[in-house]
Amino acid sequence: MTKKKLIAANWKMYKNPAQTREFFREFLPLVADHTRDEIVVCPPYIDLCAAVEETKGSNVGVGAQDLHWEKEGAYTGEISRSMLLDIGCTHVIIGHSERRQYFGETDDVVNLKLKAALEAGLTPIVCVGEVTEDVLRRQCLRAFHAVSSKKAGRLVVAYEPVWAIGTGKTATPQLASDAHIVIRGEAAKAFGQEFADKLRILYGGSVKPENAKALMSEEEIDGALVGGASLDPKSFATIVKY
Ligand code: PGA
């Protein structure tokens, strides 16, 4: 079955609003007639409004890199689902390995955030990607806990092996495919085979213009989550057009 691939940019803690506008003014014309893949850019919170304004009416969506699971409350420094929706975000990254590693985000927190995003109608991009298959399975199992297949409709999963993130080392298409099969198996257990077959599983970890085509040619790989190489408009456009 062919699914529309999703090519998503994760800018991490790079770029201010002015740089965000500059990026889109160069990037949008490069991908203006590109309809084969869905394109989403996830900048830091402070850039989201500028990104939404710049991309209005274009073929590029905007997502956040995180959200809080509560609707509102006394949570200094946090951002809620309705705030993201209100300004025009459509996607949100959840459980990125940097959040797990540096900010103590647990599988249970990932699960809460996933449920919050789905409830709000945001498209969650849930990141998993530990070294061993056991841990990878556990990450999926706990992220998907108590999420019904009916509610999970928009779910996207990103497989990002921790050793490949920001290192320049990329998983071979074969290795990534094998991990995607494991993730799809867990999704089938949680949501049923039909859902799992339709689930988009992205690969992330040092995706670059030079390796995008080989990775995206794999049947099991339904898109990419791109960090470093998404910061430059030409480089990201080349990846989108792999
Ligand atoms: P990278 O980051 O492309 O710079 O390896 C990917 C990610 O962390 O999402």
142: CA distance to ligand 1 center in Å?
23
Find out whether 124 and 154 touch, Cβ atoms under 8 Å.
yes
Characterize the bridge pairing of strands 91-94 and 223-226.
unpaired
Among residues 92, 138, 141, the alpha carbon closest in space to that of 118 is found at: 92
Report the nearest atom of ligand 1 relative to the CA of 229: 3
Please report the atom of ligand 1 found closest to the CA of residue 10: 9
Domain 6-240: CATH superfamily is Aldolase class I (3.20.20.70)
Among the atoms of ligand 1, which is closest to the Cα of residue 93? 9
Cα distance between residue 178 and residue 180, in whole Å: 5
Interstrand relation of 38-42 and 6-10 (parallel, antiparallel or unpaired): parallel
State the distance from the centre of ligand 1 to the C-alpha of 152, rounded, in angstroms: 25
> Cα(92)–Cα(86) distance, rounded to whole angstroms?
14
Structure confidence at residue 130 (pLDDT): 81
Ligand 1 pocket check for 129: Cβ under 6 Å: no
Closest residue CA from atom 6 of ligand 1: 227
Residue 165 beta carbon below 6 angstroms from any ligand 1 atom: yes
Question: Active-site residue 98, yes or no?
Answer: no
Tell me the best of 226, 231, 235, 238 to mutate to test the pocket of ligand 1, counting ligand atoms within 8 Å of each CB and taking the most. Answer: 226
**CB contact set of 150 (below 8 Å; sequence gap of 6+):** none
From 6, 10, 41, mutation site for ligand 1 pocket: most ligand atoms within 8 A of C-beta: 10
User: pLDDT tens digits, the chain, 242 residues: what are they?
Assistant: 568 999 999 999 999 999 999 999 999 999 999 999 999 999 999 999 999 999 999 999 999 999 999 999 999 999 999 999 999 999 999 999 999 999 999 999 999 999 999 999 999 999 999 878 999 999 999 999 999 888 898 999 999 999 999 999 999 999 999 999 999 999 999 999 999 999 999 999 999 999 999 999 999 999 999 999 999 999 999 999 99
**Is 96 annotated as catalytic?**
yes
**pTM of the predicted model as reported, rounded to 2 decimal places:** 0.97
Please report the pLDDT score of residue 131 as a whole number.
79
Distance from residue 28's CA to the centre of ligand 1 (Å): 21
Task: Point out the catalytic residue in the list 96, 98, 105, 180.
Answer: 96
Please enumerate in sequence order all residues whose Cβ is within 8 A of that of 57, keeping only pairs 6 or more positions apart, or say none.
Answer: none
Instruction: Please list, residue by residue across 138-171, b when 16 or more beta carbons sit within 10 angstroms of its beta carbon and e when fewer do.
Output: ebbebbbeebeeeebeebbbbbbbbebbeeeebb
